[in-house]
Amino acid sequence: MYSGLLWLALALYALGIGLTFPSVVRRRASLPPATLGVLGLGLLLHAVALGAEGAEIHRLPLTDVRSALSFFSFLATLAFFFVYLRYRITALGIFMLPLVFVLTLISALRPDRPFASPAFRGGWLLTHIASIFLGYTAFLLTFVAAIMYLIQERELKSKKPRAFYYRLPSLDVCDELYSRSLVFGLPFLSLGILTGFVWASRTWKGPWELDPKILASLITWLVYLILFSTRLSGTWRGRRSAYLAVFGFVAIMVTFLGISLWSGQHGYVPQLGSLP
């Protein structure tokens, strides 16, 4: 049932993205209610799909790559609405939603059954996963803000205004979104990693510290820590930190998707043997 809902949500997302384009091309100050309505309905169906899946397995549907992807793209769309309502950036959807769409699509295309491992009960793990995803969502915004900043900065430095000059927000708005999402995301990522350590040291035996996903997470965390401190002190600002933010988000995607395939404990596959 929930996969049908997910497909429906996906179709609405696609329609919403399609409807966003003319507003951006025509340089509208805001998205028309129809576009927001379509995206909002997509979000609602997405929420219902997640809820139905959660009800079936009696916990947050985060237990495999498929449902985790779906959950992340749900959070990202939710974040899109928050940011849009706050900043009214018409072009935001163009930069943010295609990625959401692709992630949801991958999720809808992988019809694995969710599995109910006993490991997924318990507060530490739940806090670990929820915090990590909130952090990821914030950093998606940092990434989008950085991309918009880089394009607008290029337009301004080149001194030859082209299409994006007229359609992207000011550098100041990009920078504000960038730093706010960074400040929001870092505590969650830190909390997520810490609770992960606590949980792992309590439940896993053996050299869990060498798990590739854990190592990748630490690198990602380090990247964002550098971004955070340099932005706060003002030593790095603008283009350089925007590049690093792009790198950071690519690292997240690699950690999230890539390493999951090799990692033992984080493989999101029911290798019950490796779980105590």
Partner 1 sequence: MNFVLVGLNHRTAPVEVRERLSIPESRLGAATAALVQGEGTLEGLILSTCNRVEVVVNARDEVDADPLLRNFLTHFYQCDLGPYEGYLYWHRQQDAVRHLFRVAASLDSMLVGEPQILGQMKRAYSVAREMGTLNGLLNEVVTHAFAVARKVRRETAIGTAAVSVSYAAVELAKKIFGNLAGKTIFVIGAGKMSELAAKHLLSSGASAIFVSNRTYDRAVELAQAFHGTAIRFEQLPEYVGKADIVISSTGAPHFVVRKEQVERMLAARRNRPMFFVDIAVPRDIDPAVNELDNAFLYDIDDLERVVDANKKEREREAVYAEEIVQQEVQKMMRRLASRDVVPTIVALEERLDLIRQGEVERHRGRLSNLTPEQREALEALTRGIVNKILHGPLTELKRAAGHPEHGILVQLIRKIFGVAD
Residues forming the site for partner 1 (CB under 8 A)? 26-27, 152, 156-157, 159-162, 165-166, 169-173, 176, 233-240
Q: How many Cα atoms within 13 Å fall on the side-chain side of residue 208? A: 15
Torsion of CA 35, 39, 44, 50, to 10 degrees: 170
165 vs 208 by CB, closer to partner 1 = 165
Rounded alpha-carbon distances, angstroms, from residue 40 to 17, 34, 100, 175: 12, 10, 14, 27
Closer residue to partner 1 (CB): 18 or 22? 22
Q: Which CB sits closer to partner 1, 108 or 174?
A: 174
| Shortest reach from residue 29's CB to partner 1, in Å | 9
Nearest residue (CB) to partner 1, 51 versus 161? 161
- What whole-number distance in Å separates Cα of residue 82 and Cα of residue 80? 6
Q: Give min distance, CB of 155 to partner 1, in A.
A: 8
- CB closer to partner 1 out of 103 and 171: 171
Shortest distance in whole angstroms from residue 208 CB to partner 1: 41
Nearest Cα to 53, choosing from 122, 6, 97? Answer: 6
The Cα diameter of the chain in Å comes to 61
Q: What is the DSSP letter of 208?
A: G
**Residues 63/127, Cβ–Cβ less than 8 Å:** no
Shortest Cβ 249–partner 1 spacing (Å): 21
Question: In this complex, which beta carbon is closest to partner 1, that of residue 65 or of residue 145?
Answer: 145
Q: What token pair was written down for 233?
A: 């002190």
Q: Is the CB of 29 or the CB of 210 nearer to partner 1?
A: 29
**Residue 37 near residue 67, CB atoms below 8 Å:** no
Q: How far is the CB of 229 from partner 1 (least distance, A)?
A: 13
> How near is the Cβ of 159 to partner 1 at its closest, in Å?
4
The CA-CA-CA angle for residues 211, 217, 73, to 5°, reads 115
Residue 19, token pair as written in the block: 């409807």
Cβ proximity to partner 1: between 123 and 233 the closer is 233
* Nearest distance in Å: CB 223, partner 1: 19
210-239 in b/e burial notation, b at 16+ Cβ within 10 A? Answer: ebbbbebbeebbebbeebbeebeeeebeee
Task: Please report how close the Cβ of residue 244 comes to partner 1 at its closest, in angstroms.
Answer: 13
Nearest Cα residue to 210 out of 270, 253, 265, 131: 265
For residues 99 and 76, the answer to whether their CB atoms sit within 8 Å is: yes
